[in-house]
Structure 1
Amino acid sequence: MTYDLSPRPLNPAAPAPAMTWPNGARSALFIGFDVDAETAWIGNTPANVDRMVTTSHGGYDARVGIAKILDLMDELALKATFFTPGWTALAHRDLCKRILDAGHEIGHHGYLHKMPDRTKLEEAFEEIDRGFEALEAALGVRPVGYRAPSGENFPELLAHLAKSGIRYSSSFRDDILPYRHASADGAKGLVEIPVNFAFDDWNFGMTARTSPRPIFGRDAVLQLWIDEFEATHAWGGVTTLVLHPQVSGRPMRWFLLRDFLRHVQQKGDVWIATGRDIAQHFETIERPAA
């Protein structure tokens, strides 16, 4: 494959439009969970399927993590978006139904959590199509939101997602406001609800037995999240969380997340919404200029 390294903005999307949030809110909070379960460990490393201790990290989702996260959302009366690989929905069908029954949004997160690869277009498209099929078979839903497994994307995949009925993505890290992706063929691109890497709990609470990466404690993470949220709030942006039940469903981190969410709720002027609701609000703001 030949790579075009000419100087240009590598994301051709137009700048984010000015944003006002509902109910006079100054900023928004998007609570997103990636329900990877075992796919986080086998999707990109299939040999791990025979390493039961390794995959038990992901097995925590179904045994403990998802239920605890649902308890937390219920306690705080919050709705979230659960980006769910198709494999997870099939392997842990009853537990994933509990997410849906609790009124939360189900998002698309691939089928086996494989990182999208532009050199393997058919494989990347198959991951999307199989994910849809599995979510429909297991849960009876066809998601409108997508978060890229392993956090990667490319133009052809964005186009395939749009043609498949996806309305928004939450993967890119290049803004604090929602924006609309550009499309090479002139079709309407996806709404992007961008992510701040500081709010990915995997960075602080997950490592591997062979990795030198440290795990960070409560005081470091909670203060980081509060400081980053307060600054985003002051700028009127959206704070997008990338959380995993196999991380934030662990005992200490569950209480850490609860304290952070309570801090946000106490502000009183933050719109806490699902990805679907934020995308719909963006479309409403965008419409007069269309």
Structure 2
Amino acid sequence: MALTVDFDAEELWLAEDPANASRPGVLSQARYGAEVAVPQLLEMLDRLAIPATFFVCGGDAERYPSIMESMVERGHEIGHHGYSHRSPHLMERDEEAEELARGLAVLSQFTDRVAGYRSPSWDISPHTLDLLVEHGFDYASNMMDAVLPYPHARHDLVEIPVHWSLDDAPHFWFDATSWDKTIRSAREVAELWEEETTAIHDGGGLVTLTVHPQIIGRPGRLRMLERFLTGVRERERDRIWFARCDEVARVTRTAAAPGVRS
């Protein structure tokens, strides 16, 4: 099981609408994630002795350097999540390359190696994989075509697959523009995650859980996350391995891959 945390604070809201830069109420959600939720999340991971991979936007890393340092000091991995939170498919190749290099330069100030990349909203362009290889990444985590990590056929990259069902945003996100999206209870989401996790593990697969501090970081949801992770460990006992994404990628490279995708 790979616990992944997409730490996109202000960059999330600025990418959605640049006018949000002058809306302190909107941006307060980002500050909550960074200043309240991340410290509590790190304490929880310490209690459970579970490593995580934090995918971070370069712009947010610049805003919160002490939080970045705390993640690394506690043994967690730092992955690339864009410089801004703009989707690569909206960019020309040169702009995407610049965005990737700019974010990499920032994140490299906090960790020896940035091995992995996850695009904003898991949305990549026809150029993304080529650019990741050019910049020396080991793995990507954007595709939804498997429940096992696999090597890409035409790119020297391992893919760590994901799915919206194992992401907190589709279940908890509130759309303030339309008010037509219901916020689910933590109990409902825990039940869904437990069903999916058990089924994946019964088949010998990888569970990639994705959470966002400003979403999962509400008090009741953090309690649910801790109960969920504790329950997974108790149910799975000796067959569960909580791993950082770079560890999953390394094992995938050295083991016989169960399948190859393009």
Q: Which TM-score band (shorter chain)? A: over 0.9
Is 1:110 the equivalent of 2:82? yes
Name the residue aligned to 2:168. 201
Written as runs of structure 1 = structure 2, the 5 A alignment for 1:153-232 is 153-183=124-154, 188-211=155-178, 212-232=180-200
How far apart, CA to CA, are the structure 1 residues paired with 2:177 and 2:76?
35
Secondary structure of 2:86's match? coil
Contact 2:151 2:253 in 1 (8 A): no
Name the residue aligned to 1:274. 244
How far apart, CA to CA, are the structure 2 residues paired with 1:84 and 1:203?
19
Secondary structure of 1:83's match? strand
How far apart, CA to CA, are the structure 1 residues paired with 2:70 and 2:135?
26
How far off is 1:140 after superposition?
4.3
Contact 1:132 1:142 in 2 (8 A): no
How far apart, CA to CA, are the structure 1 residues paired with 2:162 and 2:217?
20
- Which residue of 89, 100, 103 maps to 1:128? 100
How far off is 1:250 after superposition?
1.1
How far apart, CA to CA, are the structure 2 residues paired with 1:104 and 1:119?
30
- Residue deviations 1:52-105, cap 9 Å, x none? 111211111222011011011001011000001111111000111100110100
How far off is 1:121 after superposition?
1.4
Is 1:58 the equivalent of 2:30? yes
How far apart, CA to CA, are the structure 2 residues paired with 1:149 and 1:175?
20
Give structure 1 stretches of 5+ with no counterpart. Answer: 1-28
Closer/same/farther in 2, CA of residues 90 and 119 from structure 1, 3 Å limit? closer
Amino acid in the other structure paired with 1:142: R
How far apart, CA to CA, are the structure 1 residues paired with 2:56 and 2:71?
10
Name the residue aligned to 1:99. 71
How far apart, CA to CA, are the structure 2 residues paired with 1:140 and 1:282?
22
Q: Percent of aligned positions with the same letter in both sequences?
A: 37
Closer/same/farther in 2, CA of residues 278 and 140 from structure 1, 3 Å limit? closer
- Which residue of 183, 206, 210 maps to 1:242? 210
Detail structure 1 runs of 4+ shifted over 4 Å in the superposition.
Answer: none
Secondary structure of 1:106's match? strand
How far apart, CA to CA, are the structure 2 residues paired with 1:286 and 1:133?
33
How far apart, CA to CA, are the structure 1 residues paired with 2:142 and 2:199?
21
Contact 1:82 1:105 in 2 (8 A): yes
How far off is 1:118 after superposition?
6.0
How far apart, CA to CA, are the structure 1 residues paired with 2:43 and 2:111?
23
Closer/same/farther in 2, CA of residues 155 and 226 from structure 1, 3 Å limit? same
Secondary structure of 1:43's match? helix
Closer/same/farther in 2, CA of residues 119 and 60 from structure 1, 3 Å limit? closer
Deviating more after overlay: 52-61 vs 116-125: 116-125
Name the residue aligned to 1:9. none
- Residue deviations 1:120-158, cap 9 Å, x none? 111111110110111123x14431011111211133211
How far off is 1:244 after superposition?
0.6
Contact 1:135 1:141 in 2 (8 A): no
Contact 1:114 1:127 in 2 (8 A): no
- Number of residue pairs matched? 255
Amino acid in the other structure paired with 1:168: Y
- After superposition, the CA RMSD in angstroms is 1.6
Closer/same/farther in 2, CA of residues 120 and 44 from structure 1, 3 Å limit? farther
Name the residue aligned to 2:119. 148
How far apart, CA to CA, are the structure 1 residues paired with 2:91 and 2:9?
27
TM-score normalised per structure 1:
0.84
How far apart, CA to CA, are the structure 1 residues paired with 2:212 and 2:204?
26
